[in-house]
Chain A
Amino acid sequence: MSRVLSPLAILGALTLSALAALGRLAIFTGQTFAHMIRPPFYLKEFGAALMNVGYFSLPVIGLTTLFTGGALALQIYAGGARFSAEAVVPQIVAIGIVRELGPVMVGLMIAARVTSSIAAEIATMKVTEQLDALVTLSTHPMKYLTVPRVLAGIIVVPVLVAVGNIIGIMGGWAVAVGTLDFNSATYLQNTADFLETSDIVTSLAKGAVNGGIATLMGCYYGMNSGRGAMGVGKATKGSVEAAAVLILAANFILTGIFFSS
C-alpha cells in the first residue's frame, strides 16, 4: 500500500512546495508594489538602476536583435520561396519582431544580463551581512534595493524593446537589401504600412511586464539566497531560470489576451 501511495506522497509534497514558493513570491511582489507608493524614495538608486538595466544593456540588445532580424529575413525568404511568397519578407519580419521576437529577445537578454547580476549582488550582500547593516541603519532593504530596480525594469525595458524592434527590423532590411535584392525604399514602406499602432503598444506592454519579471526575480532570489558561495550561485542560477520561464509564459498569456480576437 505504501508503495502505491509513495509516488502520490511525493507528488503532494512537490505540489505543496510549489504552492508555498508561489505564495512567497506573490507576497514579495505585493510588498514590492506596496513599497513603491510609500516614501522614502531613493532617487539616486533608481537612477543607477535605470543606467544599469537600460543604458548598459543597449549593446547586447542591439546585437542580438540585429542578428535575429537578419536571420528572420533569410528564413522567411527561403520559406516563402516554397509557395512564391518571397515578397512578404518586410511584413513578416516587422510583425515577427515587433509582436514576438523583440519583447521576448529583450526580456531574455535582460534575464541573462540584469537578473543574474541583481541576484548575485543582493545575495552577496545578504551573505556578507550588508542587508542586516542596511536595517541597522534604518534603511529598508526592499525599499533601497528592490523598488528602484523593479521600477527601473518596468520603465526602461519597454524603451529597450522599442530600440530592439527598430534594430531588428533594420537587421532584416540590411539582409533583404544587401543579399536578397529587395528595393530599400519599398522594403521600408511595406514595413511602415503593415505595422499597426496596436502592434507597437502591445510590444511595449510586453516589455514592461518582462522588465518587471526579470528585475523582480533577481531581487527575490537574491534576498532569499542561502549561505556562502553555493548560496549565491544557486540564487543566481535560480533567478535566471525563473525569469526566463516566467517571461516566456507571460509572453504566451499576453499574446493570447492581445491577439486572440
Chain B
Amino acid sequence: MIRFENVHKAFGSNHVLRGVNLHIPKGESMVIIGGSGTGKSVALKSVLGLVTPDSGTILVDGKDSTKGDHDAFLARFGMLFQGGALFDSLPVWQNVAFRLMRGSLKRPSDEARAIAVEKLRRVGLKEEVADRFPAELSGGMQKRVGLARAIAAEPEIIFFDEPTTGLDPIMAGVINDLIREIVVEMGATAMTITHDMSSVRAIADKVAMLHDGVIQWTGPVADLDKSGDPYVTQFISGSAEGPIEAVR
C-alpha cells in the first residue's frame, strides 16, 4: 500500500534519508524504530507532503504521493502527533471533529459533535471532556484526544508519531493497547515511529530499523529478538556498545 523507493532528503549538509526503501502492505501495522535524529519523522512526514524528498518516490496504492488531488489524498490519512498538536483555541470536540466540519467531509454540527463524542468514548474519555479546551487536559488525555481526532473520519491509513512520548508507563501501555485495538478494528494500515520498545511489541506486525538514513533491517516483530542484525540487537538491548554511536 505504501512504498518508499530510494527516498533521499537532506537539510543543508545533514543527509537525513540516504535511500530509504520500505514497503508497508495494506492492513499491516509497521513500526519504524531508530535513535533520535535518524530521520523517522522525516520519513513519515514525507508521505504526507509535509516534507518534500530531494529524490526518490513514495507510492500509495501505486500512485505517486506528490501527484493528483492532495486534499483527497490526505482525506485517506489520520495522524497522531507526538505532542498531540491539538488546536488550543478550539474545544476538544471541535478538535476531534475538525475534518468533519470542513471540506469534502463536512456534515451538520450536531452530527459532527455526536461522532466526536463517540470517538472520545472509543478512546476512553467521557462526554464531559468534549467541551473542555486542550490546555485543561492532562498529557495522557491529550494523547487520547489526538487519537480520537486521528480516527474521526475513519481513515484507511493512520500514522502515529512517538505515541507514548511523555507518558508514564501505565498510560503508555493504555495508549499502546488502544492503538492496537483501533488499528485491528478498523482494518487500517498503520505506520508508527517510536523508540519505545514496549510500543513496538504492542503495536507492530512488522518492524523496520532506520539508521544512517537507510532501513538497516525489516522483519516481523516476532523476529525482533533473533534478528541477528547488530543495529537492531544494540537498539533493543539499549547497549552503548555496538555499531550505533552513543554520542551523536
Measured CB to CB, the residues of A under 8 A from B are 40, 42, 124-125, 128-130, 132-133, 135-139
- Contact partner of B74 among A125, A129, A136, CB < 8 A? A136
Pair A135/B74 contact, Cβ less than 8 Å: yes
21 contacting pairs across A/B (C-beta < 8 A): A40-B102, A40-B103, A42-B102, A124-B88, A125-B88, A128-B83, A130-B88, A132-B50, A133-B79, A133-B85, A133-B87, A135-B49, A135-B74, A136-B50, A137-B98, A137-B149, A138-B74, A138-B102, A138-B104, A139-B98, A139-B102
Taken together as a complex, chains A and B put the C-alpha atoms of A137 and B149 apart, in Å, by 9
Decide: A136 near B82, CB < 8 A? Known: A40-B103, A130-B87. Answer: no
Min CB distance, A68 to chain B, in Å? Answer: 33
The residue on A at minimum CB distance from B98 is A137
Known: A40-B103, A135-B50, A138-B99. A129 touches B87 (CB 8 A): no
Q: A132-B81, A138-B75 are in contact. List 20 more A-B contacts (CB 8 A).
A: A129-B81, A130-B88, A132-B45, A132-B85, A133-B81, A135-B49, A135-B74, A136-B48, A136-B50, A136-B77, A136-B79, A137-B98, A137-B99, A137-B102, A137-B149, A138-B74, A138-B99, A138-B102, A138-B103, A138-B104
B residues 83-103 near A (Cβ < 8 Å) are 83, 85-88, 98-99, 102-103
Q: Which 10 A-B pairs have the closest CB atoms?
A: A133-B85, A129-B85, A138-B71, A136-B79, A138-B74, A137-B99, A129-B81, A130-B85, A132-B50, A137-B98
Q: Residues of A contacting B104 with CB < 8 Å?
A: 138
**In the bound complex, what is the Cα–Cα distance between A165 and B74 (angstroms)?**
49
With A and B bound together, what is the CA distance between A137 and B75 in angstroms?
A: 7
The docked-state distance in angstroms from the alpha carbon of A128 to that of B86 is 9
Please give the number of chain B residues whose Cβ is less than 8 angstroms from any Cβ of chain A in the complex: 23
Q: Which residues of A contact B87 (CB under 8 A)?
A: 125, 130, 133
Name the B residues within 8 Å of A132 (CB-CB): 45, 50, 81, 85
Nearest chain B CB to A218's CB is how many angstroms away?
Answer: 15
Bound together, the chains give a CA A124 to CA B77 distance in angstroms of: 24
B71 contacts across to A, CB distance below 8 A: 138
The CA of A217 and the CA of B213, in the complex, are separated in Å by 37
- CB contacts (< 8 Å) of B85 on chain A: these are 128-130, 132-133
Query: For A42, what are the chain B residues with a Cβ–Cβ distance below 8 Å?
Result: 102
Q: Which residues of B contact A135 (CB under 8 A)?
A: 48-50, 74
CA distance A139 to B103 in the complex (A): 8
B98 partner residues in chain A, CB cutoff 8 A: 137, 139
Shortest Cβ gap from B56 to chain A (Å): 21
In this complex, the member of A40, A125, A128, A137 whose beta carbon has the largest number of chain B beta carbons within 10 angstroms is A137
Q: How far is A129 from B161 in the complex, measured between Cα atoms in Å?
A: 11
Q: Name the distance in Å between A222's Cβ and chain B's nearest Cβ.
A: 14
Closest Cβ neighbor of B73 among chain A residues: A138
Assembly CA distance A130 to B98 (angstroms): 12
Name, among B45, B99, B102, B149, the residue most crowded by chain A CB atoms within 10 Å (CB to CB).
Answer: B102
A138 CB to nearest chain B CB (Å): 5
Q: Which residues of A contact B102 (CB under 8 A)?
A: 40, 42, 137-139
Closest to A133 in B: B85
Bound-state CA distance A136–B104 (Å) is 14
A138 CB contacts on chain B under 8 angstroms = 71, 74-75, 99, 102-104
* B79: nearest chain-A partner, CB-CB: A136
Find chain A residues with CB under 8 A from B48 CB: 135-136
Distance of A132 Cα from B84 Cα, bound (Å): 11
CA distance A136 to B79 in the complex (A): 7
List, in ascending order, chain A residues with CB within 8 A of B103's CB. Answer: 40, 138-139
* CB contact list, B29-47 vs A, under 8 A: 45
A40 CA to B106 CA, complexed, in Å: 12
- Which residues of B are found within 8 Å of A124, using beta-carbon distances? 88
State the CA gap A135–B71 with chains docked (Å). Answer: 9
- The interface residues of chain B lying within 8 Å CB-to-CB of A136 are 48, 50, 74, 77-79
CA A138 – CA B100 in complex, angstroms?
11
Taken together as a complex, chains A and B put the C-alpha atoms of A125 and B87 apart, in Å, by: 8
Least CB separation from B155: chain A residue:
A136
Name the residue on B nearest A42 (C-beta). B102
How far, in angstroms, from A42 to B83 measured CA to CA in the complex? 26
B27: min CB distance to chain A, Å? 21
Write out, one digit per residue, whether chain B residues 162-177 have a CB within 8 A of any chain A CB (1) or not (0).
0000000000000000
Q: Which of B65-80 contact A (CB under 8 A)?
A: 71, 74-75, 77-79
